[in-house]
Amino acid sequence: MKFTVEQINKAFDSIPVATRKAMSVTPVDKVMQELAATHQVSLDKISQISGQITFVLIGLEKAGDFYDSIKFQTGLSDDILIKLVDEINKKIFVPFRQAMIAFSYEPEEEVVESEPEAPSNPSIKLNFPGTPKAQEQNDRAILRSADIEIDEDPGEQVREALEDVSARSLDRDKLLRTLENPPKSEGLIKIPEVVRPAVSEIGTSFNRESIKVPTNIVPPPVNFSDKVNTVPHQENDISPIQKLAQSAGVIGTPEVSGTGIVGSKLQATFKIPKEVSNYTVPAIGEKKIQSDPYREPV
């Protein structure tokens, strides 16, 4: 039978305190892991059986329907199911019933309101599920008085491991902050600044301060009336391209004085081909008047 999330949450909220304490000391997961290894059952089917065990413990499913439910969900053979149900009854259901009876006769403790103690390190916030340590010790004493064997609580080791991890994470954060923002200090060794000397064109070094640049330099006067000496153009000058063509024996090289190949191409004459179009011109004459066949005679 499938249950909705609302039904499961409502069942968990309505279970009594004795049942809740008995569930906390019943080693369901440990027993199911041992059964999976002993009878070679897959983890998927073991998880389905564990879910049905939880439904029986919180009162959603009857214990008499447990066998039929896990057979329908897992599809295991009757031989394996009989062995599994027998061991589940001995190692889970019977200890759970004894623990629930023992916790039912426990006197209720008076609730004393007290101010919560401030943590030694406010940055560390550890929220562990379950009852306080004193309450756990009291529950163990009750179970031992009823001759119920229980396993050691693995929660203490988990708490110590989490506290160790939290402390190491704080040290790591402090180290990262120190690396990102190191303290300013001059250091033990001061590295002198190295000034590279200037190098002249021929590769010899010199001191720039020793060179004295004159500041009273007067540029020479410029006479714009002076004529610039130019080389006169000769008519027989040939462009370099024409000389190269003549030396290669190319015949018909255009020789245009003072111009190159581009100039000769631009100065040459060329003809545009005519486009001939044939079309007839209709003769202009009198238009023959024809009677309208659709017009009524006068």
Task: List pLDDT tens digits, range 201-227.
Answer: 555 555 666 666 666 666 666 565 555
199 or 90: whose pLDDT is higher?
90
Question: How high is the mean pLDDT of the chain?
Answer: 69
Instruction: Specify the amino acid at residue 89.
Output: N
> Has residue 46 been placed in a domain?
yes
3-state secondary structure of 148: coil
Q: Total structural domains in the chain? A: 1
Instruction: List the domain range (segments joined by +) for residue 62.
Output: 5-104
**What residues have CB less than 8 Å from 22, skipping those under 6 apart?**
96, 97, 99, 100, 103
Mean local confidence (pLDDT), 104-127: 56
Q: How far is CA 140 from the centre of its chain?
A: 48
DSSP per-residue string spanning 56-113: HHHTSS-GGGHHHHHHHHH---HHHHHHHHHHHIIIIIHHHHHHHHHHHTSPPPPP--
User: Over 70: is that where the pLDDT of 151 sits?
Assistant: no
User: Over 50: is that where the pLDDT of 128 sits?
Assistant: no
Asked if 122 and 170 touch (Cβ cutoff 8 Å), the reply is no
User: Over 60: is that where the pLDDT of 28 sits?
Assistant: yes
User: Over 60: is that where the pLDDT of 131 sits?
Assistant: no
Asked if 27 and 151 touch (Cβ cutoff 8 Å), the reply is yes
Residue 253: the pLDDT is 47
> Has residue 96 been placed in a domain?
yes
> Has residue 214 been placed in a domain?
no
Residue 124: the pLDDT is 47
Axis crossing angle, helix 28-39 with helix 78-88, rounded to the nearest 10: 150
Note if the pTM is more than 0.85: no
108 or 80: whose pLDDT is higher?
80
Mean local confidence (pLDDT), 242-248: 65
> Has residue 194 been placed in a domain?
no
Q: Which of 80, 81, 83, 87 is nearest to 69 (CA)?
A: 81
Residue 150: the pLDDT is 57
pLDDT digit string, tens, across residues 54-107: 888 888 888 888 888 888 888 888 888 888 889 888 888 888 888 888 887 765
Both structure tokens of 260: 């190159």
3-state secondary structure of 37: helix
User: Over 60: is that where the pLDDT of 116 sits?
Assistant: no
How far is the C-alpha of 103 from the C-alpha of 17, rounded, in Å? 8
Q: Which of 136, 132, 134, 130 is nearest to 103 (CA)?
A: 136
> Has residue 25 been placed in a domain?
yes
Highest mean pLDDT among 204-208, 265-269, 291-295: 291-295
Q: How far is CA 94 from the centre of its chain?
A: 50
Confidence of residue 188 (pLDDT cuts 50, 70, 90): very low
> Has residue 83 been placed in a domain?
yes
> Has residue 56 been placed in a domain?
yes
Both structure tokens of 95: 């200890």
3-state secondary structure of 163: helix
Residue 45: the pLDDT is 87
Confidence of residue 149 (pLDDT cuts 50, 70, 90): low
Residue 261: the pLDDT is 75
Q: How many residues does the chain have?
A: 298
Mean local confidence (pLDDT), 246-271: 62
> Has residue 186 been placed in a domain?
no
Element of type H or E holding 24: helix 17-25
